Structure 1
Amino acid sequence: MTSLVPLPVHPAAHRAGVDDPDWTAMARVLVVRPDNVGDVIMTVPALRALRAAAPQARIDLLASPAGAAAAPLVPEVDDVVVASVSWQRLPGPVADEDADPDAELVATLAGRRYDAAVILTSFSQSPWPAALLCRRAGIGIRIGTSKEFGGDALTHWVPAPPDGGHQVDRGLEVLAAVGVPSRGVDLAVTVPITDHPAPAGRYVVVAPGASCPSRRWSPERFATAGRGIAGRGWTVVVTGTAKEADLVARAAAGVPGAVTLVGELDLAGLADLVAGADAAVVNNSGGAHLADAVGTPVVELFAGTEEVGQYAPRTVRAEVLTRPVACSPCRQLVCPFDQECLDIAPERVVDAVVRVARART
């Protein structure tokens, strides 16, 4: 007779009898968040809580090359391990199918002798690849959350928070389950003083870029909105990376007195610029979270790739503009339709800027 294989227990049951880590005894802790800038910024409340629970520990961040740019703004982070991890890469040609894509990273983590790893994910991401990597690196305590079973790769398998919860709350709930209380949900980062001169007078920052085409409002509509914003008395500063030069040029076209900054600012410089603005107009991208973190009101063009409630700014005045569509959340890099979710009239953006912009005396 065939014997039955026991079904995996629910995460809550798996946690029963497992002691919370002794955070006060740890020397080195790794926080894993290897995706985009905005995701790292939304990790700030979790890092702040962890720093308070383990004030003696060195806290390092495992981040992507893009996300690592945010680390200098976060005083709770002591060092950054920068890596393009295999489970975050898009499918494509493999140079050597027999090679271990994460072998070098495993060796790096092993050499740092971490006591614990906290793996933070969105609801649609799995912690198990990172957990397996951390186990290979000899990290004894591995904390994460997931609805699906992944064996003992996690030593502390936290029950999954609700899918629709905000990403900030998700990270804090994971830590609360292992004895780390929240220290607040605000995204406050350190804004450095840079040598990039700010525009004279009052200005609004416009950032037409995003990590993928499906999240980008039309640059021509940005330009129309920019003309309306300029007409209300603001200088419009359109900014982007060197790769976004064409996008910036199109978004600034015909905007009276527009200032364009292409590839001139690192993230620290951008934070300084945004912190001095009356408002920021952005896509659902890292720019929205950066503005939230430096206290600048936001008008956000939110594509249907994600759910608004998981990512919306919450600590500043903000208006999130989107259109409900049946295909949302799609998580597509390129919209297969006509971006109906971003069919937002520029006039609505101008009116929103007027409503949220901070008053100056």
Structure 2
Amino acid sequence: MANSEQILIIKLSALGDFVLSLGACQAIRKHHRDARITLLTTKPYQPLAKASGLFDEILLDSRPRIWQLPSLVALRAQLRSGRFDRVYDLQRSDRSGFYFRLIGQPKPEWVGKVAGCSHRYLQPGDQVLHISTREAQQLALAGITDIAPADLTFANEDVTGFAVPDGYVLLVPGGAPHRPAKRWPMERYAELAAWIVTRGYTPVLLGTAAEQESLELISAVCPSALNLCGRTSLLQIATLAKSAALTVGNDTGPMHLIAPAGCPLVSLFSHESDPAKVSPRGAEVTILRRPTLEDLTLTEVTDACEPLLPLRR
């Protein structure tokens, strides 16, 4: 590998964006079959990146502040020691643009949006584009045109310890704590869980440990729901999605893991985010959007779910 092409991919966050970018990473690996490919990312996504098998090395970015000089010097040394021939900046942020300057001379080929890079991508200002479309346009500048949705067949984690019964529906009622407008009311999720039981399925609740208390409301209304809040890894979520009958959830990161795993999805959006830019990508994704999610009724959601959820007896 000493004389092979050295490639760096930068993708730091967030979960949904990281999963959507896996399709681009897979296309980069296909294009650079014999290259040594390094990923620069952040700690939460290291297990997912490692399991994908796409990367020869994974570097973790602590995202040092400008005044944290020792950390910046260490990061610069790390970037320079890779002797990268080409960098694919899939983050396209001010931070990753700063890394273009931090890396020093000589500059590698750089596929990103920062001024001065060799393959500069600027999104047309009058277009609303999904992140996957933007990445396809970006990679086309570097000669990569065959980009498929993320393939998550590598996600095969052990989930037997959860004792999930046959015939289950995943519910993802949480979301970013600083953006409550992206959440359908928890009371509606509780009613939805009860409706799912009448269809013959077990609701399985997914969320972070910090969401445990709010999800207990669903368990109180629907005791047969299985609460896995705070217990699942990202890879386990993708594995559970492969056998789920359906998933219903807000615009939040795990939905992007679930959709490409092959699970039918009903995704709920408010004015806080635009599905034209950030919707999950999968074979069967239904989007329900209202300016305010409090105005989205239980009947509207069950009407969307019913064709995807045949009665079980």
Which TM-score band applies after superposition, normalised by the shorter structure? 0.7 to 0.9
Match of 2:288 in 1: 321
- Out of 67, 89, 103, the position equivalent to 1:137 is 103
Deviations 1:26-80 (A, max 9, x none): 6221111211111111012211211111111122222233343431342323332
Match of 1:89 in 2: none
Q: Answer yes or no: is the 8 Å Cα contact 2:79–2:103 preserved in 1.
A: yes
Letter matched to residue 141 of structure 1: E
Q: Answer yes or no: is the 8 Å Cα contact 2:10–2:87 preserved in 1.
A: yes
Match of 1:333 in 2: none
| CA separation of 1:161 and 1:73: change in aligned 2, threshold 3 A | farther
Superposition deviation, residue 360 in structure 1: 8.8
CA–CA distance in 2 between the matches of 1:270 and 1:315?
A: 15
The answer to whether 1:66 aligns with 2:44 is: yes
The answer to whether 1:37 aligns with 2:15 is: yes
| CA separation of 1:182 and 1:302: change in aligned 2, threshold 3 A | same
Match of 2:135 in 1: 171
Match of 2:198 in 1: 231
Aligned length: 303
Superposition deviation, residue 256 in structure 1: 4.1
CA–CA distance in 2 between the matches of 1:81 and 1:34?
A: 10
CA–CA distance in 2 between the matches of 1:309 and 1:358?
A: 29
Letter matched to residue 260 of structure 2: A
Q: Answer yes or no: is the 8 Å Cα contact 1:274–1:296 preserved in 2.
A: yes
The answer to whether 1:285 aligns with 2:285 is: no
Match of 1:28 in 2: 6
- 1:210 is paired with a residue whose SS is coil
- 1:60 is paired with a residue whose SS is strand
| CA separation of 1:251 and 1:108: change in aligned 2, threshold 3 A | farther
Match of 2:210 in 1: 243
- Out of 289, 296, 311, the position equivalent to 1:344 is 296
Match of 2:78 in 1: 108
Deviations 1:217-259 (A, max 9, x none): 2222211111111121110011222222113212333114111
| CA separation of 1:342 and 1:167: change in aligned 2, threshold 3 A | farther
Superposition deviation, residue 102 in structure 1: 3.7
| CA separation of 1:358 and 1:102: change in aligned 2, threshold 3 A | farther
Give ranges in structure 2 of 5+ residues lacking alignment: none
Match of 1:187 in 2: 150
| CA separation of 1:98 and 1:31: change in aligned 2, threshold 3 A | closer
| CA separation of 1:161 and 1:247: change in aligned 2, threshold 3 A | farther
Q: Answer yes or no: is the 8 Å Cα contact 1:208–1:216 preserved in 2.
A: yes
CA–CA distance in 2 between the matches of 1:262 and 1:127?
A: 32
| CA separation of 1:357 and 1:196: change in aligned 2, threshold 3 A | same
Letter matched to residue 132 of structure 1: F
Letter matched to residue 143 of structure 1: V
| CA separation of 1:304 and 1:61: change in aligned 2, threshold 3 A | farther
Task: Give the RMSD, CA atoms, in angstroms.
Answer: 2.6
CA–CA distance in 2 between the matches of 1:314 and 1:98?
A: 39
Superposition deviation, residue 342 in structure 1: 5.0
Q: Answer yes or no: is the 8 Å Cα contact 1:207–1:282 preserved in 2.
A: yes
CA–CA distance in 1 between the matches of 2:62 and 2:308?
A: 37
| CA separation of 1:74 and 1:168: change in aligned 2, threshold 3 A | farther
Letter matched to residue 237 of structure 1: V
- Out of 92, 100, 117, the position equivalent to 2:87 is 117
| CA separation of 1:98 and 1:169: change in aligned 2, threshold 3 A | closer
Superposition deviation, residue 349 in structure 1: 1.9
| CA separation of 1:60 and 1:209: change in aligned 2, threshold 3 A | farther
Q: Answer yes or no: is the 8 Å Cα contact 1:30–1:114 preserved in 2.
A: yes
- 1:34 is paired with a residue whose SS is coil
CA–CA distance in 2 between the matches of 1:349 and 1:157?
A: 42
Match of 1:310 in 2: 277
Deviations 1:172-222 (A, max 9, x none): 1101111112232x2221221414345222000111122333322222221
Deviations 1:72-96 (A, max 9, x none): 342323332222425xxxxxxx8xx
Q: Answer yes or no: is the 8 Å Cα contact 2:183–2:293 preserved in 1.
A: no
Superposition deviation, residue 159 in structure 1: 3.5
Would you tell me which structure has more helix in proportion to its own residues? 2
CA–CA distance in 1 between the matches of 2:123 and 2:52?
A: 26
Identity in percent: 25
The answer to whether 1:271 aligns with 2:229 is: no
Match of 2:35 in 1: 57
Superposition deviation, residue 260 in structure 1: 0.8
| CA separation of 1:265 and 1:341: change in aligned 2, threshold 3 A | closer
| CA separation of 1:244 and 1:167: change in aligned 2, threshold 3 A | same
Letter matched to residue 274 of structure 1: A
Deviations 1:309-351 (A, max 9, x none): 112234321211111x4xxxxxxxxxxxxxx245311222222
The answer to whether 1:353 aligns with 2:302 is: no
TM-score normalised over the length of structure 1: 0.76
